[in-house]
Chain A
Amino acid sequence: MRLPIYLDYSATTPVDVRVAEKMAKCLTMEGAFGNPASRSHAFGWAAEEAIDEARGHVAALINADPKEIVWTSGATESNNLAIKGVAHFYQKKGKHIVTCKTEHKAVLDTCRQLEREGFEVTYLDPEHNGLVDLNKLEAALRPDTVLVSLMHVNNEIGVIQDIGAIGAMTRARGILLHVDAAQSAGKVPIDLDAMAVDLMSFSAHKIYGPKGMGALYVRRKPRVRIEPQMHGGGHERGMRSGTLATHQIVGMGEAFRIAGLEMAAENERILGLRNRLWAGLQGMEEIHLNGDMHARVAGNLNVSFNYVEGESLIMALKDIAVSSGSACTSASLEPSYVLRAIGRSDELAHSSIRFTLGRYTTTEDVDYTIKLVRDKVAKLRELSPLWDMYKEGVDISKIQWAAHH
């Protein structure tokens, strides 16, 4: 067993060695390092061929046409391009967008920007299990709604939204649906032939590919139009300019190819490990699972350890790499906005740890983690005045706390 144990696969994954090998071949003088837009020589053609192959691999995993894949620098850019691209292109049709409070910052911050530009955005409250109630979604739709943007799998609590049903609802009303699938590709089957999704964002580095690489699926039938956000040489059929990073694209393609081959068996193995982890932690006092247990990806376990502060627990768990809340906000002092949105108190949100398991997690890793977490939580509770009070039967929620910061 190698320490530290990596249990933060939702923040990012290591590049699979098979992916790294393919990427290296596109980087050096001997490989396809040319500019794929160079039409005049074999270096450019080799790069273009490699990119076409990768496009095919990505499309295959999600059952789409390769022509529907637009390369980007990552899911954040994909989300920006999809939401702003649709909003700007269809603004004469309407200026209302519906999303959810538990979306990734890339979606929420983009919506905030559109609000500054004069769009109106409805932010749905999810249910306590993290899922969006379809009736509430339906009630939020208006004649001037042009776009619904909802994530397939939540990055913090791992819950899976019913995209099929949501797509049926939006399609029937002629509203476009964008889905952030950064956390679901390779973990949950995606069939874009069957799902009425119009735009879908993908990331390479959440699926054992490289960082700085993503894609946006843009449906061709019925055709979806977007206003490009990055202008230049007209790459990617004008939707996204910029020299294509061949090695990055090839890496993403290989990562998606491998996911297609191994997803079913891998999910089963990871689910077994996740359940083992949860079974090992259950029985501890005052622990709370965040998010629905059933509509949930295999690798995610998000637990609040009441009366222990999350950051100090991460510090105590220095032999394992985990996060509290999303990695994008973990440098700040705010409790996870996702946990707040599903109705968790600030205290429980502050006490949460996200364990995310993946391709290289072993049974030994899980067993070591269980023991370590049990020990360290006990140690920190010994240090915690709140734990004392809980043990004395004091109701902490009834205390008048002086507001501090």
Chain B
Amino acid sequence: MAYSDKVLDHYENPRNVGSFTKDDPSVGTGMVGAPACGDVMRLQIKVNELGVIEDARFKTYGCGSAIASSSLLTEWVKGKTLDQARQIKNTDIATELALPPVKIHCSVLAEDAIKAAIDDFKSKQHADAQKSA
């Protein structure tokens, strides 16, 4: 199958590759997928006190479409509130990257990743709130 130019661009020049310290309370980490299935995505978001995602990082084990989906996602979530980021749909990613049908699951994984990162961030806040309470 042929990759779209946008997939190739993200694959060759992935944006926001890297990691934040996991234990940082302002960081939410989402890790989804499984090595046995051929893709694992780790997405991290750094959230400020206004609930806005200031920065994002990813690392992905998977095909070119999986890498491109997560790279694109890190660009999209920056500057968004958590609620706005939660609204990102896999179909938006699939459309933007012109993913072929056999690669749609990569965009699904990316949607799962941002949701998992938000949930992780929120559960940390919750835990902190409990601790301080």
Contact = CB atoms under 8 A, between A and B. Distances in A.
Our verdict on whether A and B bind, yes or no, reads yes
A315 B64 contact: yes
B61 A331 contact: no
Given A307-B61, A315-B63, A385-B59, A404 B42 contact: no
Interface string B16-57: 010100000000000111111111111000000000000000
Of B19, B33, B37, B66, most buried by chain A (CB within 10 Å of CB) is: B37
21 contacts: A307-B61, A309-B39, A309-B61, A310-B38, A331-B1, A347-B36, A383-B17, A383-B67, A384-B60, A385-B40, A386-B35, A386-B40, A387-B61, A388-B59, A396-B35, A401-B35, A401-B40, A402-B34, A403-B34, A403-B37, A404-B112
A304 to B, nearest CB: 12
A345 interface: yes
A387 B32 CA distance: 15
A311 interface: yes
Please give me the 7 A-B residue pairs with the lowest Cβ-Cβ distance, nearest first: A401-B34, A346-B36, A385-B42, A311-B63, A385-B59, A347-B35, A350-B38
Interface in A370-399: 382-388, 396
A310 B38 CA distance: 9
Interface in B60-101: 60-64, 66-67
Contacts of A346: 35-38
A403 B109 CA distance: 11
Interface of A: 307-312, 315, 331-333, 335, 345-347, 350, 382-388, 396, 401-405
Contacts of B105: 333, 404-405
B36 A402 contact: no
Of A309, A332, A382, A402, most buried by chain B (CB within 10 Å of CB) is: A309
Contacts of A388: 19, 42, 59
Contacts of A345: 36
A211 to B, nearest CB: 21
A383 B63 contact: no
Interface residues of B, number: 30
B63 A309 contact: yes
A386 B33 contact: no
A385 B40 CA distance: 7
Given A315-B63, A385-B59, 7 more contacts: A309-B66, A315-B11, A383-B67, A385-B61, A402-B34, A404-B34, A404-B39
Contacts of B34: 401-404
A404 B64 CA distance: 18
A337 to B, nearest CB: 14
Contact of B64 (A312, A331, A332, A385): A312
Contacts of A307: 61
A311 B39 CA distance: 11
